[in-house]
A and B are shown apart, each in its own frame.
Chain A
Amino acid sequence: MSKVVIHHVTPNINGGWSVRKGGSAKATRVFKNRDEAVEFAKKIARNSKTGLFIHKKDGKITKYRSFEKKSA
């Protein structure tokens, strides 16, 4: 399986919800609520053609969506 670039929407350890690029130590942005974080993450994932994981409050995955460019 090839390594794909992924963004994650996850609970932030200091409160709120983070949007973070996979493998990165720091969040791109932190939001007060999950819906705002998801909207922002979708824009990033769409523009950068990456995958997006949305996590639940307990860290488990609730949804995966791929915005990767489809190969011809």
Chain B
Amino acid sequence: MLIDSNVFYNCPFDKEYKPILDAVIFCLKFLKLNPVLASQENDGAENRVDKICRLISSAKYGIHDLSRIRASKKGEIFRLNMPFELGVDFGARKLAPENFGSKSLLILGSEPFRYQAALSDLAGSDIRSHAGEAIEAVEQVRNWFAEKLPGETPGPSLIWGRYNDFLGDNFLRLTDRGFNERQIERIPIAEFMDDIDRWLQTNHIS
């Protein structure tokens, strides 16, 4: 069953992408949405495809970031997980409209129009470019949801400012608890999401 607040976020989980991942997760939570990610849960017993299907079938919204599917250096493997998961999400909407017809999908890329050329089947989809910048990703995600969510949506500058406030407050809280800068950067995604929830409970201004 689709949950209106769930957003399936399909993206890379590497060090280079992490600033965008963290900023988009904060943006979604600030908008009172619930990001669901494959890396969030570590149940080794569950087949990965089963997990992806379970998450996709729970999420009214999908964000699929294809910005890093191209190998960045010689010998690096071409990344197919992201387009595969986009295909599953897209297929669910098309093949089972009675259950998933209300799904909305946003495709993010680093360059405008790059994916229409590589994957012409995406024509007509919502594709936006973040140019590889976290600040731009927040603005694009916020603007897309402003067209989808009821009521007024906080502006991109406000969300970005609150994200920076959160990073600062969380930095002080974690260093007080004995974390160093490297450990703060490497904090598991589920713990990072809990930190955002805790902070927003007392600091949400919109």
For A6, the chain B residues whose CB sits under 8 A away are 165, 168-169
- How many B residues touch A, CB cutoff 8 Å? 28
Listed stretches B47-55, B57-65, B152-160; interface member: B152-160
Counting contact residues on chain A (CB < 8 A from B), the size range is: 20 to 34
For A61, the chain B residues whose CB sits under 8 A away are 167-168, 171, 181
Interface string of A23-43 (1 = CB under 8 A from B): 111000000000000000000
Bound-state CA distance A8–B173 (Å) is 16
Bound-state CA distance A57–B164 (Å) is 11
The answer, among B135, B176, B185, B203, for a CB contact under 8 Å with A59, is B135
Q: State whether the Cβ of A72 lies closer than 8 Å to any Cβ in chain B.
A: no
In the bound complex, do residue B160 and residue A59 qualify as a contact, i.e. CB atoms below 8 Å apart?
Answer: yes
When C-beta atoms are compared, the residue in chain B nearest to A20 turns out to be: B161
Q: Which residues of A contact B (CB under 8 A)?
A: 1, 4, 6, 8, 10-14, 20, 22-25, 51, 53, 55, 57-61, 64
**5 A-B Cβ contacts within 8 A?**
A8-B164, A22-B168, A23-B165, A59-B19, A59-B22
